[in-house]
Amino acid sequence: MAATVRMTAVDAGPLTLAKGILLSMAQGTITIPTAVWIIEHPRHGLILFDTGINYHVADPEAAERYWGPGIRDAFGAQGFTRQHAIDEQLKKLGYALNDVKFVIYSHLHLDHAGGMCHFPNAVHVVQRDEMRYFWWPDNWTRPVYCFNDLKDQRNFNFLELNADVDLFEDGTIKLIRTGGHSPGHQAMILRLENRGPVCLAADTSHLKEAYRMMAPMPWDWSIETMTLSYMRIRALEQAGIPIYFTHDPEDFLSLPRDGEYWD
């Protein structure tokens, strides 16, 4: 394990879909990554921020059973392969699955919580209202929560939060509530010794273009709450903290990836 906190990113769920799903009134299609951030902490071991899409989705027939009929195609996951799944990504980087000590979830949508099953011995960190909403979402948001992602994991060790938290009380990982896209969405401020703080803003916005425009996304749970979260992220940005969104292609390309690290 590294002597200081360090981070790399992998794409654990490429999606090709209509851009209008991510930005209202946008035209054409777009291919986006689903970033999972892999963090090495000198005291607390290996930490994941999100887990991407479940490995079953790589097989069209298995996806019909796991996600439900038509959802793989609706979300544009036809390009997702078994090698994209987080367990394979970790092995490729030389990690064992049991190396993962903490899994932090920005939220529990099916492209963020799909790899939970691989980490039965980790502490799983999630906002409490997100956990509650997962089990009984509003009908119109139900397609983005996959029951199979959690149904066999109910006895995992969950750390349920209800506020902003300095996770280890050392300033290295701060979780801040950024609801709106979902009820209990949270972003991470990761402090790196040689780079300073960076904000992993997850799905506070899907695209930086939408964030700049303060534009709502069609799948946002609450536009009012989302707008307040946009302002919170904007305050961080004005303080000089760089912002990275899970699905923004340019953000992903600017991150250290696949075994390149920031520290």
Mean pLDDT by 10 residues, the chain (263 residues): 90 94 86 98 98 98 97 96 98 98 98 98 98 96 96 96 98 98 98 97 95 84 94 98 98 97 97
C-alpha–C-alpha distance, residues 193 and 212, integer Å = 28
Q: Give CA separation, 6 vs 42, 79, 95, 173, 205, in Å.
A: 9, 29, 14, 12, 24
| 35 touches 50 (CB < 8 A) | yes
Q: What is the predicted pLDDT for the residue at 1?
A: 65
C-alpha–C-alpha distance, residues 68 and 8, integer Å = 32
Q: What is the predicted pLDDT for the residue at 236?
A: 98
Q: What is the predicted pLDDT for the residue at 25?
A: 78
Q: Give CA separation, 147 vs 36, 66, 84, 124, 261, in Å.
A: 21, 9, 21, 17, 34
Give the CA dihedral 37, 138, 181, 188, nearest 10 degrees. Answer: -40
Q: What is the predicted pLDDT for the residue at 104?
A: 99
Domains of the chain: residue spans and CATH: 6-254 (3.60.15.10)
DSSP 154: T
Strand order in the sheet with 45-49: 6-11, 35-41, 45-49, 100-104, 123-127, 157-161
Residue with structure tokens 């790899």? 115
Q: What is the predicted pLDDT for the residue at 24?
A: 77
The pTM assigned to this predicted structure is 0.97
| Phi and psi, residue 231, nearest 5° | -65, -35
Q: Which long-range contacts (CB under 8 A, 24 or more apart) does 208-213 make?
A: 208/243, 208/245, 208/248, 208/250, 208/251, 209/23, 210/22, 210/23, 211/243, 211/245, 213/23
C-alpha–C-alpha distance, residues 158 and 155, integer Å = 8
